[in-house]
Amino acid sequence: MSRYHIDITTRVFHFKEPAGTSRGVYRTRTSRFVRLTCDDLPEIEGVGECAPLPRLSCDDLPDYDAVLRRHCDDVCARGGIDVDALRDVPSMLFGLETAWRQLHAGGSTALSDTPFARGEEGIPINGLVWMGDFDTMAARLEQKLSQGFSCVKIKIGAIDFADEITLIRRLRDRYGSDRIELRVDANGAFSPAEAMDRLQQLAVNDIHSIEQPIMAGQWQEMARLCASSPLPIALDEELIGVNMPERKRQLLETIRPQYIILKPSLHGGMAGCREWIALARERGIGSWITSALESNVGLNAIAHLAAEVYGPAITIPQGLGTGQLFTDNIDTIPITIRGDRLWHGRH
């Protein structure tokens, strides 16, 4: 039996600008990196990123490092990954899946057999505009448009809603829906009582979809909104901590959203995201994949997952534009953004 070894290191990344959400502002990002080696594969290693989001991930644990060490030891002892044993710690599962795939790909960062992995095809991505005051958000929006993005996602819920509507209306007056696809992400900022009125105000501006209008855990309220909303609703935080297949089925059949948005670090690693996508497709529910503010190590793995499950020739923009957020990202990973597409390989 092959002998595996895993070393764990920790690194703190720094945002170029504070990343504001309705749940707070991130200025730094802490990741643990698992480095997997095997006695049978000398000179080769696989590296994965374990990066739970504070106050959001279901595995944001006070003893995270000790739990991660135990799971790493278990992977080494059994000579493989037990997905069921890692369902409740998705960020750890994702990191270990990534390391395993890279090791058995000969150490290559090409983690899939796809046109994306071969550098033949770029993945369309959306531009991301973080929350801030009105002038800051407007400037960020113009920057994304000048960079060539045709789909822009705007974080809302942190400033006055009337100002956010003004910003969106100003953008729509300048760029029609045939030119720019607009997505908004409320991160659960609306109350159930006010949500429908706000959805109606947003809908008149040709919004593609809204993520998580109300806080997670209110299945009946969310189901009511999804059934009568004038614009499509996408679930994100709602899926966190829903890790067992039967519970996933119950959620989708109860709420019946138009879309689900998947982050491997939050929603069950690669295996869990595949499970969500299969269940959603059976019910006619759309989906796309985004990062959870990982470094380029995690982002690369997520991009290869998207290329496998949606490709080739992905048409829906994915949320994979986060590699430019840090001042000190890992630049040895060969992924780059050109226009509104993410590419693998040196171009």
Nearest C-alpha neighbor of 16 from the set 323, 298, 319, 299 = 323
Alpha-carbon gap, residue 123 to 345, rounded angstroms? 13
pLDDT at res. 173? 86
Nearest C-alpha neighbor of 147 from the set 164, 128, 170 = 128
Catalytic residue check, 153: no
**pLDDT of 270 strictly over 90:** yes
The 10 Å Cβ neighbour count of residue 298 is 29
Mean pLDDT of the chain, nearest integer: 94
- Which member of 144, 153, 155, 248 is catalytic? 155
**pLDDT of 121 strictly over 90:** yes
Which single residue is written with the structure tokens 């000398």?
Answer: 42
Long-range CB pairs of 169-177 (<8 Å, 24+ gap) are 169/205, 170/138, 171/141, 172/205, 172/206, 175/145, 176/206, 177/206
CATH 3.30.390.10 positions along the chain are 4-103
Confidence at 242, pLDDT banded by 50, 70, 90: very high
Alpha-carbon gap, residue 9 to 49, rounded angstroms? 10
Which residues fall within 8 angstroms of residue 10, CB to CB, at 6 or more apart?
30, 31, 32, 33, 65
Alpha-carbon gap, residue 291 to 319, rounded angstroms? 6
pLDDT at res. 324? 81
What is the CATH number that goes with domain 123-344? 3.20.20.120
**pLDDT of 24 strictly over 80:** no
pLDDT at res. 202? 97
Q: Which residue has the higher pLDDT, 346 or 123?
A: 123
> Mean pLDDT throughout 204-220?
97
Q: Where are the beta strands (DSSP E) in 268-331?
A: 286-289
Confidence at 20, pLDDT banded by 50, 70, 90: low
**pLDDT of 262 strictly over 70:** yes
CA 32 → CA 50, 127, 186, 294, 296, distances in Å? 5, 26, 28, 10, 13
Considering the four listed CATH numbers 3.50.50.60, 3.40.190.10, 3.30.310.40, 3.30.390.10, the one that applies to the domain covering 4-103 is 3.30.390.10
Lowest mean pLDDT among 134-138, 182-186, 339-343: 134-138
| Cα dihedral sign, 285-186-175-19 | negative
> Mean pLDDT throughout 232-244?
97
CATH 3.20.20.120 positions along the chain are 123-344
> Mean pLDDT throughout 276-300?
97
Confidence at 347, pLDDT banded by 50, 70, 90: low
> Mean pLDDT throughout 43-56?
95
- Which member of 144, 153, 248, 263 is catalytic? 263
